Every structure is written in structure tokens, then in C-alpha cells.
A = this chain, B = another copy of it.
Amino acid sequence: MKILAATKILKANELLAEENRRTWSAEGVFAVNVLGSPGCGKTTLLEALFAQLRDRIQPAVIEGDIAGSIDAERIDRLGIPVVQINTEGACHLDANIVAAASRQLDYRRVDTLVIENVGNLVCTAGFDLGEHLRMVLLSVSEGDDKIVKYPAIFQRSHVLVITKIDLLPYTDFRPDRVAGDMKRLNPEAAVFQVSALRAEGVAELADWLLQARLQAASPPGR
């Protein structure tokens, strides 16, 4: 019974996600789903990326949080359109709530929609929001065993960003181990190392995201 219900919920979510993807593609909006543990540095990375990309994209952000609007306020301070979702306890965003939030955006002024999911390395993995690209973050301070322990989210992402590399000297985190684990699990995924604090590696990631956006906009087969 429990398994049946979960299957039905996931199936309904998939249909809504496909609808989101069609809508965004038709509007020329490239959508990115940003995932990672609480405190892995999602909002801080977005701030650093927007600083790099400000003149090259027209971004909007949907912020998913259990409670509060701390992250949305940070994005708002950059002058970027932002919609806050409070999940009121739910551990992940789904395609339905994101569709409702995205209807509040003016697509004529947006070409890149960044959806910052709830901080959660488990539940967010199973819910397609209709994004074109899924970016997962892993911070150095979380330890280098996370890909083995939480495989689903890493398997289903297009790009892994190892964050907070400024903390490398103070931890036993081995980026090579993580890159190797990722290569085995998901050979197609790109891997970046960044310090948003020191703006290290951010330009490379920004360029890669622009490239991915161009490819998503091209008709298939080109």
C-alpha cells in the first residue's frame, strides 16, 4: 500500500514536470534545479554565480524552504526576481508547487530560472521539477563519503559542484575520492570545485552553465 501510493504520487509529479519543461522551453527559459544538504552553500553559490553572469543572463529564482524567507531576501537584495515557497514541513519541492510559484514570474524578462530546492540529500532526488539541468552541491565539510552513502541524488544530476574548497586545509576531504566515486556512479556528469567565498572556480562553472543553456536551446540532433 505504501509503495503503491508513492508510485502514484511520483507518476503524477512526472506528468506535471513534463508540463513545466514544455512551458519553460516554449518561453525560452532554461531551468536549473539546485540540490544539496542543508548548509552546503546553495544560496552563497548562486550569489557568486549571479555576480559572474549578471550581464549575460536574465535570471529569476524560486526558493524552497521549510520555513522563513532568509534565502529569498538574499536573492532579493541582488535585485533578482524571486519567489519564496514555504513547504511547511515537506522535505522537497514538487512539480506542482513549482508550477504555481513560477506563474508569478514575468517570463518576458527571464531566460534562466534557478530553483533552489529544500536542503535535503535524499527526498529531493526523486522529484523531477521540469528542470533542464540538475546541479548537486557537496561541501568539503560534509566529508568525502557522501556519494557512496546517498547515491540516488548524485546519479540523477548533470553536474556536481564541490563547494567550500577553502576549507580543504582544515578537513580530511579528498576531492579525488569524490571525483572517482562520481565517475563510477555517473560518468557523464561534470565535476567542479569552487569556493564561492573566494570566487575560486566560479567563472569556470558559470561558463559551463552558459554552454549547457545553449545546448538545451538547440533543437535535438543539431
Q: Are B148 and A164 in contact (CB-based, < 8 A)? A: no
Determine if A58 is an interface residue (Cβ-Cβ < 8 Å).
no
Q: Are A151 and B67 in contact (CB-based, < 8 A)? A: yes
**8 A–B pairs (Cβ distance < 8 Å), ordered by A:** A37-B121, A66-B150, A67-B150, A89-B126, A91-B122, A119-B149, A120-B123, A141-B167
Name A145's closest neighbour in chain B (CB-CB): B70
Taking CB atoms, residues of chain B closer than 8 Å to A39 are 37, 139, 141-143, 146
Other A-B pairs, 15, CB within 8 Å; known A91-B91, A120-B122: A37-B37, A38-B146, A38-B150, A39-B146, A40-B142, A66-B149, A66-B151, A67-B150, A70-B149, A91-B122, A118-B122, A120-B120, A122-B123, A141-B167, A167-B167
Name A151's closest neighbour in chain B (CB-CB): B67
Complex Cα–Cα for A120 and B118 (A): 11
Taking CB atoms, residues of chain B closer than 8 Å to A164 are 141
Within 8 A of B (CB), among A120-154: 120-123, 126, 139-143, 145-146, 148-152
Contact of A38 with B142 at beta-carbon distance under 8 Å, contacts A67-B151, A150-B119 already known: yes
Name A164's closest neighbour in chain B (CB-CB): B141
Copies per assembly: 2
Complex Cα–Cα for A123 and B140 (A): 23
Determine if A68 is an interface residue (Cβ-Cβ < 8 Å).
yes
Determine if A100 is an interface residue (Cβ-Cβ < 8 Å).
no
Taking CB atoms, residues of chain B closer than 8 Å to A123 are 91, 120, 122-123
Taking CB atoms, residues of chain B closer than 8 Å to A120 are 91, 120-123
Name A9's closest neighbour in chain B (CB-CB): B2
Taking CB atoms, residues of chain B closer than 8 Å to A5 are 5
Q: Are A65 and B9 in contact (CB-based, < 8 A)? A: no
Complex Cα–Cα for A164 and B37 (A): 16
Taking CB atoms, residues of chain B closer than 8 Å to A68 are 148-149
Taking CB atoms, residues of chain B closer than 8 Å to A143 are 39
Taking CB atoms, residues of chain B closer than 8 Å to A38 are 37, 121, 142, 146, 149-150
